């Protein structure tokens, strides 16, 4: 595996991790003193977005790790 491919995989991992952090902060911001059902529903929706972003970051991380494994260990 060439360096440019590893760079792309690393960048994809970094971008998806940044998106995950943003989703976590958005979810956290919705945990407010507003105890209404509407606020709770918004918080739940943000939780789903955070979980989706986390899954994408983990997939990107695994792809990058697989690339590193191939480049450094040959498999």
pLDDT by residue, tens only, the chain of 75 residues = 789 999 999 999 999 999 999 999 999 999 888 999 999 999 999 999 999 999 999 999 999 999 999 999 998
- Show the tokens assigned to 1: 């595996």
Element (H, E) at 31: none
| pLDDT score recorded for residue 75 | 85
Distance separating alpha carbons of residues 6 and 68, to the nearest angstrom? 7
Token match 């902060």: residue? 25
pTM of this prediction? 0.86
Domain chopping of the chain, boundaries: 3-73
Q: Which of 33, 73, 26, 75 is nearest to 52 (CA)?
A: 26
Largest pairwise CA distance in the chain: 55
């Amino acid at each position: 595996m060439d360096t440019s491919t590893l760079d792309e995989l690393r960048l994809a991992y970094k971008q998806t991790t940044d998106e995950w952090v943003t989703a976590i902060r958005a979810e956290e911001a919705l945990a407010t003193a507003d105890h209404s059902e509407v606020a709770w529903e918004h918080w739940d929706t943000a939780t789903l977005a955070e979980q989706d972003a986390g899954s994408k970051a983990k997939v990107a991380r695994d792809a990058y790790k697989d690339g590193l494994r191939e480049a450094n260990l040959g498999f």
